[in-house]
Amino acid sequence: IKRLFGNTNDRLDLAAPLKITLNLIYPFSLNTVHYLHNFFNALYHHIFHFDYIHFLYRWTSSYGESWSRAAFVLAIIIFAFFPIIYTQTEFQVSPKNIPLDVAVKDCNNVVDELKPVCKIEFRSLNFWNGEAISHSLSTATFQTVEYRIPQNFWSGFCVILEKILAPLQAALLALAIRRKFMR
């Protein structure tokens, strides 16, 4: 009678058909499904909920305490990271003594025989002769370079990114130097 009318200990398992169906669909156990769910949930939280701002603040200047690390990261940004990127992206380059808009007007008004003499080039910047480093330094200090203009989206994006990151790192350097002398 207890079995027919429902004893809590001997209650029929109403979820048994669902468990059987899930075992047919997924040949591994439900514990494995639960484990995989927890694994991917933890992976999602580690990737998307990681505190990147504090990590970068700690890595670039030790929370504003290390002026040497801040200076090192600033030097890497200006003299290595962005110049190497500028060697891989395309710029429109004219001679240094002629602004680019003047060179473009002159080259557009030239007859077809003199087009090869035109000095406008579409190329990446050279790292070894200092062209990429000088462009990086001028970009970091907000100087406009009239004879080197980014040609595509990625080179323009890198220039804008350097205009943000280099002064931000310089500010972290100034903060670290100030904290050093405040002690």
pLDDT at 6 (0 to 100): 47
Where does the chain show beta strands of DSSP type E?
Answer: 91-93, 121-123, 148-150
pLDDT in tens, 109-151: 665 555 555 677 888 999 999 999 999 999 999 988 878 889 8
Phi, psi torsion values for 43, nearest 5 degrees: -60, -45
Give the pair of three-digit tokens for residue 34. 């639960």
Phi, psi torsion values for 149, nearest 5 degrees: -125, 135
pLDDT at 141 (0 to 100): 92
pLDDT in tens, 30-65: 566 667 677 777 777 777 777 778 888 889 988 888
pLDDT at 146 (0 to 100): 78
User: Which residues lie below 8 Å from residue 43, measured CB to CB, with a gap of 6+?
Assistant: none
Alpha-carbon radius of gyration of the chain: 31
Model pTM score: 0.66
pLDDT exceeds 60 at position 73: yes
* Cα–Cα distance for residue pair 93/127, rounded to 1 Å: 15
Which amino acid is located at 51 in the chain?
D
pLDDT at 51 (0 to 100): 77
